[in-house]
Structure 1
Amino acid sequence: MFHKVRWQLVALLFIAGIINYLDRAALSVAAPLITQELGLDPAQLGVVFSSFFFGYALFCFVGGYAADRYGPRLVIIVAMTLWSVFCGLTATATSVAALVVLRVIFGMGEGPFNTTMAKFIGNWFPKSEQASAIGIANSGTPLGGAIAGPIVGFIALSYGWRISFIAIAAIGLLWVLFWALSSTDNPAQHGRVSEDERAEIRRGQATETAQAELPLMHYLRQPAILATALAFFGYAYILYFFLSWFPSYLTMALHLSIQKMAIVSVIPWALGFVGLASGGFVCDALGRRLGDQVAARKLVMVVCLLVAAVAVALAGIATSLEAVIALIAIAVFFMYLSGSTYWAIILGLVESGRVGGVAGFVHLIANTAGIVAPIVTGVLVEKTGSFASAFVLAGGLATVGALLVALLVRGPSSRSAAFAQASRH
């Protein structure tokens, strides 16, 4: 499989995903040390966590729109350079205000990555492989979350938390060099792609022009797109609840030391890596069996998101460390098993010339959860003295999203009807 250029580029995106979450999770892992040095309370820490998403959510859409206009290769280069630089500059923060400003700009850099990656995979892969490619590319993110605890924890305890941000920023800038030398926007531009591989990709893609035929707003008003966005919000709420607060939850509620927290935090993210890496292959295999890729992606999303919702709600009321870790691991695994489906549904329902804009809109809606979840969690913990209500809220929101997808997402026939309707006007 990896002798083909398109899968080699996915491997590079996989590594980028590792760096993405290593950079992003670094603040959560170092939070106990930063809190101590800067004197932050839980509500202030929640604001710092959320500040990242003010930049991130908006630039999910900006990045997707730019990828449609300027091509995904360039957008990824600019995005990763920006986020790596501002990850490193986090080491200069000496106040809450400085942390907030740096995290907003850092988020602006990371925002375009996932949306633009989906656009890139839509250009490079036949329809029958797209969910698998998205799953592999995205599966680097939970692996980055898994290794962030040991790596950032070790560097922060050995050399100080500021050095940890500088070290991982350097890794990101090195990746940009490899990507700039190795990638192109589509297979036709790449000198190492064989004619056989180009023909294989062309045969497996829809026979449509890359020029958009329907306006962007047509897609943004569709119930299936809105339902997918709200389900993605439920997914993201669970994800960002754990990504921002899980290390602090282990130290504050379960009274683990930073050393033990760094080890225990690996478990859910390791399982999440397995779930995200395999979810796309499950979707594509089920799609071949059902003869309907969109229906397969919908089924995987709904079932997995519901299981994750139940597990995370139960984790909030569990009393033993073993039960909490087991339930969180189940929640993260099934949440990530659905991770490729949101992007894959968009690729199945949207014409190629609008994929970036629509995916960016959906990702923007999803990532408002990154603004809401850390702040709401911080307030709930401060007001109640417990994480229980925060866990239950996360499970409830994911349940609502899954049910909306079950009711409103239909197959590609709706897209064909839209094209027919547009041609009559």
Structure 2
Amino acid sequence: MKKVSLFPLLLVSFAQFLTMLIWFNYSAILPLVKEEWGLTSGQSGVILSSFQFGYVISVFLFGYLSDRINPRYIFIFSALIAGTSGLLFGLIAKGFWSGLIFRIIAGIGLGGIYVPGLKFLSGLYAPETRGKTFGIYVGALVVGSGSSLLFAAPIISMYGWREVVIATSTAAYLAAIIMVLYKVNPKMPSTPPIMSYKLFKSLFANKKLVAMNLAYAGHMWELYAFWGWVGPFMVYTSIKHGFSFDEAQQIGNLWAGIFIVIGALGTWYGGELSDKIGRVKALKPLLLIGLFCSLIFGWISSIPFFLVIVIGIIYGITVVGDSPIYSVAISELSDENTLGLALGLQQVLGYSITIISPSVFGFTLSIIPDETLGWGIAFAILALGSLASLLVLPKNYPFISPVQKRLIKN
């Protein structure tokens, strides 16, 4: 494959960054919306999970279409859907049901961003560089997701929570404009797949592919509940350390945003490491550290604040560091003509889990009257995801990275 400059990767990653500002803009304002609308923790968790529900509805379809239609067009269309729904949430949402509907539609829109973007990049970059390439691309997702929490603090202090949603949603329109103006198109499959039972059977018959998808589902159980609830947890922790509610809202979201954004270092390192030592060998230490962090994080709200920050940074890096490795593995284990479909299937399996875990987290907080105990148990439940991922990865996984293959050949 002809060597391609980093420019397409950086441009598409930036466009994705802009759209992903929508993902956790609700988490950034959750304590304020919960108070204003009179929501329970369980209802707050349902709205949080509804976004993932919308994502799951669309991601498989958009993944399949990206094997048949230029993924750049899908990206543009989806960014417009997500941006418009986000704007409507900020302008007219009044309570549980309107918030729920707009978040579902926003999720449907973002379902057409990540997989078509991966498909776009897979058509431009050689397999032996995909660990690094996907690591950067996933890093943009991480930074975009977390940045809404970072932007929330100053915007809330100057204006209010609605302006947070409006500002972060408007960025999706800029992403659409970028992809309209950037007219480089990737190579499309010579024989686009036709949806059929045989096609699905071939994907599920691939045992390595199934194992990676199951591991990805465990990873997503942990990751998105952490991302969705770390903001409210840091607000709670800040209050326990003597800050007023308004101060805690700003400080908690600031540090939660940093925990998420700094995860981009993990995706870059995880992807790069997997190019060098193999996919599964790179996955295991990241999963183990993430598991340990999930077990302890909810119990540490009363320890010195700087230690909470240190542990939160480690958690933020490792909980997402394995994300690009799963996508790279799917891209290598799948046929080129069905890559979009395979990635879409992976996303459906993973994000179906994320519909459940944030809600389980919220309901755990609702049913346990002691807040400290509730946070501790809720985060500990997330460790089940990492544990499941470790268990489904075979001990002697017969997989060699492209870089290793090249070294062996030479």
TM-score (norm 2): 0.87
8 A Cα contact 2:21 2:171, kept in partner:
no
Q: Secondary structure at the match of 1:186?
A: coil
Q: Which residue of 2 aligns with 1:197?
A: none
Q: Supply the distance in 2 between the matched residues of 1:268 and 1:170 (Cα, whole angstroms).
A: 24
Runs of 4+ in 1 over 6 A off after TM superposition: none
Q: Supply the distance in 2 between the matched residues of 1:17 and 1:239 (Cα, whole angstroms).
A: 19
Q: Which residue of 1 aligns with 2:28?
A: 29
The letter of the residue matching 2:6 is: W
Q: Supply the distance in 2 between the matched residues of 1:73 and 1:185 (Cα, whole angstroms).
A: 7
How many Å apart are 1:399 and its aligned residue? 1.4
Q: Supply the distance in 1 between the matched residues of 2:218 and 2:312 (Cα, whole angstroms).
A: 16
Does structure 1 residue 398 correspond to structure 2 residue 386?
Answer: yes
Q: How does 1:361-376 map to 2 (within 5 A)?
A: 361-376=345-360
Q: How does 1:306-317 map to 2 (within 5 A)?
A: 306-317=288-299
Q: Supply the distance in 1 between the matched residues of 2:256 and 2:308 (Cα, whole angstroms).
A: 12
Q: Which stretch has the larger CA shift, 130-139 or 261-270?
A: 261-270
Q: Supply the distance in 2 between the matched residues of 1:122 and 1:16 (Cα, whole angstroms).
A: 17
The letter of the residue matching 1:305 is: L
Q: Which stretch has the larger CA shift, 392-401 or 320-329?
A: 320-329
Does structure 1 residue 334 correspond to structure 2 residue 322?
Answer: no
Q: Supply the distance in 2 between the matched residues of 1:49 and 1:146 (Cα, whole angstroms).
A: 15
Q: Which stretch has the larger CA shift, 403-412 or 31-40?
A: 403-412
Q: Secondary structure at the match of 2:123?
A: helix
Q: How does 1:20-419 map to 2 (within 5 A)?
A: 20-91=19-90, 92-186=92-186, 215-255=199-239, 257-286=248-277, 296-318=278-300, 319-320=302-303, 321-384=305-368, 385=370, 386-407=374-395, 410-411=398-399
User: What RMSD, in angstroms, separates the aligned Cα atoms of the two structures?
Assistant: 2.3
8 A Cα contact 2:144 2:261, kept in partner:
no
Q: Which stretch has the larger CA shift, 378-387 or 262-271?
A: 262-271
Task: Tell me the matched-pair count.
Answer: 382
8 A Cα contact 2:19 2:175, kept in partner:
no
- Cα–Cα, structure 1 residues 254 and 155, in superposed 2: closer, same or farther, change >3 Å? closer
8 A Cα contact 1:50 1:370, kept in partner:
yes
- Cα–Cα, structure 1 residues 100 and 212, in superposed 2: closer, same or farther, change >3 Å? closer
How many Å apart are 1:221 and its aligned residue? 3.5
The letter of the residue matching 2:112 is: P
Q: Supply the distance in 2 between the matched residues of 1:6 and 1:124 (Cα, whole angstroms).
A: 9
Q: Deviations over 1:173-212 (max 9, x none)?
A: 0121111121433169xxxxxxxxxxxxxxxxxxx96655
Q: Supply the distance in 1 between the matched residues of 2:255 and 2:383 (Cα, whole angstroms).
A: 22
- Cα–Cα, structure 1 residues 411 and 212, in superposed 2: closer, same or farther, change >3 Å? farther
Q: Supply the distance in 1 between the matched residues of 2:309 and 2:336 (Cα, whole angstroms).
A: 41
8 A Cα contact 1:224 1:408, kept in partner:
no
8 A Cα contact 2:45 2:362, kept in partner:
yes
The letter of the residue matching 1:235 is: H
8 A Cα contact 2:153 2:251, kept in partner:
no
The letter of the residue matching 1:16 is: A
User: Could you list the runs of 5+ residues in structure 1 that have no partner in the other structure?
Assistant: 189-207, 287-295, 414-425
TM-score (norm 1): 0.84
The letter of the residue matching 1:123 is: G
How many Å apart are 1:328 and its aligned residue? 2.9
Q: Supply the distance in 2 between the matched residues of 1:174 and 1:273 (Cα, whole angstroms).
A: 22
Q: Deviations over 1:300-341 (max 9, x none)?
A: 122212221122212233351444333332222122221210
How many Å apart are 1:253 and its aligned residue? 4.8
Q: Supply the distance in 1 between the matched residues of 2:171 and 2:384 (Cα, whole angstroms).
A: 38
Q: Supply the distance in 1 between the matched residues of 2:16 and 2:76 (Cα, whole angstroms).
A: 14
User: Could you list the runs of 5+ residues in structure 2 that have no partner in the other structure?
Assistant: 402-410
Q: Supply the distance in 1 between the matched residues of 2:397 and 2:73 (Cα, whole angstroms).
A: 32
8 A Cα contact 1:135 1:277, kept in partner:
yes
Q: Deviations over 1:56-83 (max 9, x none)?
A: 1122211111101212111111111111
- Cα–Cα, structure 1 residues 343 and 408, in superposed 2: closer, same or farther, change >3 Å? farther
The letter of the residue matching 2:262 is: L
- Cα–Cα, structure 1 residues 210 and 186, in superposed 2: closer, same or farther, change >3 Å? farther
8 A Cα contact 1:212 1:351, kept in partner:
no
Q: Secondary structure at the match of 1:301?
A: helix
Q: Secondary structure at the match of 1:406?
A: coil
8 A Cα contact 1:56 1:108, kept in partner:
yes
Q: Supply the distance in 1 between the matched residues of 2:150 and 2:127 (Cα, whole angstroms).
A: 38
